[in-house]
Chains A and B, each alone.
Chain A
Amino acid sequence: MSSETKQILTTDGIPLEVSLKKAERKNKIKAFLLVAPLLFFLIITYVFPIGDMLFRSVDDKMVTQMLPKTFKAMETWDGQELPDEEVFAAFHEDFIKLVEDKREGKLSTQLNYTKNGFKSIIKKLRRKSKTFEEGNYKEQIMSVHKRWADVEYWRAIKRRAPEFTSQKYLKGMDMYVNEEGKIVSVEEDRRIHRVLWLRTLEIAFFVTVFCFLMAYPIAHLLATLPMKYSNLLMICVLLPFWTSLLVRTASWMILLQQQGIVNDFFVGIGLVADDNRPEMMYNKTGSYVAMTQILLPFMVLPLYSVMKTISPSLMRAGKSLGGTPFVAFWKVYFPLTIPGIGAGCLLVFILAIGYYITPALVGGASGTLISNQIAFHMKSTLDWSFASAMGLMLLSGVLVIYWLYNKIVGIDNIKLG
Chain B
Amino acid sequence: MALPKYTEPHYRIWHYIYLTICAAVFFFLIAPLFVIFPLSFNAEEFLSFSDGMKSLDPDAFSLRWYKDMIYGTKNPWGLAAKNSFIIAIFATIGSVILGTVAALGLSSRHMPYKGLIMAVLISPMIVPLIISGVAIFFFMAKAGLAATHTGIVLAHIILGTPFVVITVTATLSGFDHSVTRAAASLGSDPVNTFMKITLPLILPGVISGGLFAFVTSFDEVVVVLFLAGLENTTIPIQMWTGLREQLSPTILAVATCLIILSTLILVTAELLRRRSERLRGINR
Contact = CB atoms under 8 A, between A and B. Distances in A.
Interface of A: 24, 27-28, 30-39, 41-50, 52-53, 56, 214-215, 217-218, 221, 224-225, 233, 235-240, 242-255, 257, 259-261, 264, 293, 296-297, 325, 350, 353-357, 360-361, 371, 374-375, 378-379, 384, 387-388, 391-392, 394-395, 398, 402, 406, 411-412, 414-417
Nearest to A48: B139
A394 B135 contact: no
B130 interface: yes
B117 A252 contact: no
B135 A50 contact: yes
A37 B101 contact: yes
Given A38-B121, A240-B29, A243-B258, A251 B47 contact: no
Identify the 4 closest CB pairs spanning chains A and B, nearest first: A354-B128, A34-B105, A35-B105, A31-B108
Given A50-B131, A246-B240, A28 B110 contact: yes
Contacts of A360: 244
Contact of A388 (B29, B134, B269): B134
A375 B240 CA distance: 14
Interface in B115-131: 115, 117-124, 126-131
12 contacts: A31-B111, A35-B102, A37-B102, A218-B22, A243-B258, A249-B243, A260-B47, A260-B48, A261-B35, A379-B225, A384-B134, A398-B126
Interface in B9-25: 11, 18-19, 21-22, 25
Contacts of B134: 53, 374, 378, 384, 387-388, 391
Given A28-B110, A31-B108, A242 B135 contact: no
Q: How would you classify the secondary structure of chain B's contact residues: helix, strand, loop or mixed?
A: helix
B154 interface: yes
A415 B265 contact: no
Nearest to B221: A357
A293 B167 CA distance: 25
Contact of B266 (A235, A353, A374): A235
A304 B117 CA distance: 28
B142 to A, nearest CB: 8
A356 B126 CA distance: 14
B253 to A, nearest CB: 11
B132 to A, nearest CB: 7
B92 interface: no
A250 B36 contact: yes
Interface in B199-238: 208, 212, 215, 218-219, 221-222, 225-226, 236
Contacts of B186: none
B48 A259 contact: yes
B209 to A, nearest CB: 8
A375 B221 CA distance: 12
Given A31-B111, A247-B259, A251-B255, A239 B266 contact: yes
Q: How would you classify the secondary structure of chain A's contact residues: helix, strand, loop or mixed?
A: helix
B161 A35 contact: no
Contacts of B259: 243, 247
A415 B212 CA distance: 12
A297 B219 CA distance: 17
Interface in B233-260: 236, 239-240, 243-244, 247, 251-252, 255, 258-259
A214, A242, A251, most chain B CB atoms within 10 A: A242
Contacts of A245: 219, 221
Contacts of A416: 163, 166-167, 208, 212
B33 A45 contact: no
A388 B115 CA distance: 28
Contacts of A236: 26, 29-30
Given A242-B262, A251-B36, A293 B28 contact: yes
A224 B127 CA distance: 34
Interface of B: 1, 11, 18-19, 21-22, 25-26, 28-30, 32-33, 35-36, 39, 46-49, 98-99, 101-102, 104-106, 108, 110-112, 115, 117-124, 126-139, 154-155, 157-158, 161, 163, 165-167, 169-170, 208, 212, 215, 218-219, 221-222, 225-226, 236, 239-240, 243-244, 247, 251-252, 255, 258-259, 262-263, 265-266, 269-270, 273
Contact of B33 (A32, A53, A251, A411): A251
A250 B22 CA distance: 25
Contacts of A378: 133-134, 137, 226
A398 B128 contact: yes
Given A34-B105, A41-B157, A218-B25, 4 more contacts: A31-B112, A246-B240, A248-B33, A394-B131
Nearest to B244: A361
Contact of B130 (A31, A41, A371): A371
Contacts of B137: 378
A11 to B, nearest CB: 19
A24, A221, A254, A356, most chain B CB atoms within 10 A: A254
B100 to A, nearest CB: 9
A356 B222 contact: yes
Nearest to B101: A34
Contacts of B99: 38
Given A248-B33, A259-B48, A394-B128, A52 B139 contact: yes
Nearest to A373: B130
Contact of A214 (B28, B123, B169): B28
B242 to A, nearest CB: 9
